[in-house]
């Protein structure tokens, strides 16, 4: 039994839950007024303390952190908010094909509102090409949004290089660091990032709370109307207990965790390589999240592996089309050039502080017979794939936003 | 990414899970009398069904399946429904009958993951073509 789907969401740490409880039971003020009654004041102190902890984690001032409801809202606020506030300077936005839906769909919506959006390709490892990015920059480019690390294949983008390019040209740079936050350090003093998205539930905090770092002086327009909360950028009473939990999750994050996660992932990789054949990993071999291993198990399909593993108590993910209601395969696996018959065999294992070597052993012990069983009656043989009658090439190379 | 322990799993009936866990008649038949191959490029399931016919009766049937839980379960169920049947009886087996025998499939799985009945019909066509002396169709490797 093991939960190996931490890139999806993580177990809330008990210390986080304990920290949150008083803010549900006792300090239920709205943090609205500094000179208000005591419940408000205590709530506000909790909220501001969390903001301070978050700020320290990326070497910035508390004023630059705005709490949101999570990754989706932070991405919407960053992209839409920056596009609208800077549309007098230009209407061109650049992003890349492997971003999450809240980035891609926000860009798509902006396109309908008269903005121009360029979606960069990625290479076979999922990396954006800096030369291509530079070439696409125009005089009316106002915003670049490229994620820090990809949640499906783990590839880490060269955000330091991108930030250098955008800052020299006066273009805003937003990065979605949800998957990498705390696992790969970000220093806002040394890297000129303008906006950073992150959230709590990927680091053992609660769901429904995220944050957006907004560098001082960044022009941003709010996307929701209301009161003056969160520097007027995010009206509405913030979820204070969740924000406190978010802060606690950051506070208890151990400095050696990335190294431990990496060691555990390497252990998994070695075990798999020794026990399974016709297996390939996806994503960049080195520039990747420490806790994420994504692979393609050839000749078989991901959903059947996932369900079999689930019955045996192991939670993993797949990018296989068969496993989604729309029957669309992962847009990330498509972007790195994998045709559907190959991406069908995708399995993602993502680790957390709660996983152990024993769990990895048990997982591999369950996976190997699962793969063998399904391969036994697969019509596909080693090195052979479908011979489709239709020309599926066009479909895979299409990078229009509509296809995302 | 699509997740484990999802509602997907729970929308499968017990019969589907049972067939998935212990599928029957999986594999291939050497020197078959008919072969039917079907594949769906949209969702990617792919299967090849083999029949052995004697005196107009399907005396052996096997299937190789690449696909999701539903694809494997419907493959297994189809072979069980056709085994021992006459060719004429087997011709009446439809996707809907296979889905019904499994107490139903999730709606989005009805089309692309329920191809075994189609493979059976193709294998029967292939058998009849061969019986007439035409060259076997659909017998090539994928």
Please determine, for residue B8, whether its predicted confidence score (pLDDT) is greater than 50. no
Closest CA–CA distance from residue B50 to any residue of chain A (Å): 11
Q: Which of residues 4-33 of A touch B (CB under 8 A)?
A: 5, 7-8
Say whether pLDDT at A340 is over 90. no
B23 touching A (Cβ < 8 Å) = yes
Nearest to B20 among A8, A307, A330 (CB): A307
Q: Do A322 and B43 touch (CB under 8 A)?
A: yes
Cβ contact (<8 Å) for A320 and B68? yes
Task: Name all domains of chain A by residue range, CATH numbers in brackets.
Answer: 13-252 (3.40.640.10), 257-403 (3.90.1150.10)
B124 token code pair = 């029967």
Q: Is there a contact between A301 and B108 if contact means CB atoms under 8 Å apart?
A: no
* Domain map (residue ranges) of chain B: 7-131
Backbone Cα Rg of chain B: 15
B41 contacts A348? CB cut-off 8 A: no
Domain B7-131 coded CATH 2.60.40.10: no
**Is pLDDT of A297 > 80?**
yes
- Residue A344 and residue A302 in contact, taking contact as beta carbons nearer than 8 Å: yes
A322 is catalytic: yes
pLDDT for the residue numbered A218: 97
Confidence at residue B110, expressed as pLDDT on a 0 to 100 scale? 79
Whole-angstrom Cα distance, residue B16 to residue A25? 46
pLDDT tens by residue, A177-217: 999 999 999 999 999 999 999 999 999 999 999 999 999 99
Region A340-359 average pLDDT: 93
The predicted complex's ipTM stands at 0.86
Contacts with A295 from chain B: Cβ below 8 Å: none
Is B108 in contact with A314 (Cβ distance < 8 A)? Answer: no
Judge contact between A281 and A274, C-beta under 8 A. no
A377/B contact by beta carbon, under 8 A: yes
Q: Is B79 exposed, middle or buried (0-12, 13-18, 19+ CB in 10 A)?
A: buried
List, for residues B56-86, the tens digit of each pLDDT value: 999 999 999 999 999 999 999 999 999 999 9
Average pLDDT (A16-42) is 85
Rounded to a whole number of angstroms, the distance from the CA of A327 to the nearest CA of chain B is: 6
């Amino acid at each position: 039994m093991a939960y190996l789907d931490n890139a999806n969401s993580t177990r809330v740490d008990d210390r986080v839950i304990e920290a949150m409880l008083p803010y549900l039971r006792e300090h239920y003020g709205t943090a609205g007024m500094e000179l208000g009654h005591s419940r408000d004041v205590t709530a506000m102190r909790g909220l501001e303390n969390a903001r301070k902890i978050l700020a320290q984690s990326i070497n910035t001032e508390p004023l630059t952190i705005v709490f949101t409801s999570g990754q989706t809202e932070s991405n919407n606020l960053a992209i839409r908010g920056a596009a609208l506030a800077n549309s007098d300077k230009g209407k061109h936005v650049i992003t890349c094909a492997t971003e999450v839906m809240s980035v891609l769909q926000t860009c798509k919506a902006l396109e309908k509102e008269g903005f121009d959006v360029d979606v960069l390709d990625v290479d076979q490892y999922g990396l954006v090409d800096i030369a291509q990015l530079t070439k696409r920059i125009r005089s009316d480019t106002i915003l670049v949004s490229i994620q820090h690390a990809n949640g499906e294949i783990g590839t880490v983008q060269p955000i330091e290089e991108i930030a250098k390019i955008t800052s020299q040209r006066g273009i805003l740079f937003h990065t979605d660091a949800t998957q990498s936050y705390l696992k790969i350090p970000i220093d806002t003093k040394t890297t000129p990032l303008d906006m950073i998205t992150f959230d709590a539930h990927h680091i053992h905090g609660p769901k429904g709370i995220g944050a957006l770092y907004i560098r001082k002086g960044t022009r941003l327009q709010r996307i929701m109307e209301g009161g003056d909360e969160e520097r007027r950028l995010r009206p509405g009473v913030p979820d204070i207990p969740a924000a406190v939990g978010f802060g606690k999750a950051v506070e208890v994050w151990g400095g050696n965790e990335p190294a431990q996660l990496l060691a555990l992932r390497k252990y998994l990789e070695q075990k798999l390589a020794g026990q399974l054949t016709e297996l390939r990993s996806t994503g960049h071999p080195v520039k990747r999240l420490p806790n994420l291993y994504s692979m393609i198990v050839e000749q078989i399909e991901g959903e059947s592996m996932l369900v079999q593993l689930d019955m045996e108590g192991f939670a993993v993910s797949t990018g296989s089309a068969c496993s989604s209601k729309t029957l669309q395969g992962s847009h990330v696996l498509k972007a790195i050039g994998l045709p559907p018959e190959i991406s069908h065999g995708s399995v993602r294992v993502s680790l957390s502080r709660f996983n152990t070597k024993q769990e990895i052993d048990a997982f591999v012990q369950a996976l190997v017979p699962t793969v063998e069983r399904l391969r036994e009656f697969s019509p596909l043989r080693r090195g052979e794939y479908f011979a489709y009658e239709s020309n599926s090439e066009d479909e895979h190379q299409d990078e229009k936003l509509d296809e995302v | 990414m699509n997740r484990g322990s999802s509602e997907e799993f729970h929308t499968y009936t017990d019969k589907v899970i049972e067939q998935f866990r212990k599928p029957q008649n999986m594999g291939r038949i050497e020197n078959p009398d008919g072969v039917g191959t079907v594949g769906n490029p949209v969702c990617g399931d792919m299967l090849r069904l083999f029949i052995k016919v004697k005196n107009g009766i399907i005396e052996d049937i096997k299937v190789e399946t690449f696909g999701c839980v539903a694809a494997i379960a419907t493959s297994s169920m189809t072979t069980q429904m056709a085994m021992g049947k006459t060719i004429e009886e087997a011709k009446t087996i439809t996707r809907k009958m296979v889905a019904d025998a499994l107490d139903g499939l999730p709606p989005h799985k009805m089309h692309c993951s329920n191809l075994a009945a189609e493979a059976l019909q193709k294998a029967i066509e292939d058998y009849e073509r061969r019986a007439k002396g035409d060259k076997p169709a659909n017998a090539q490797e994928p």
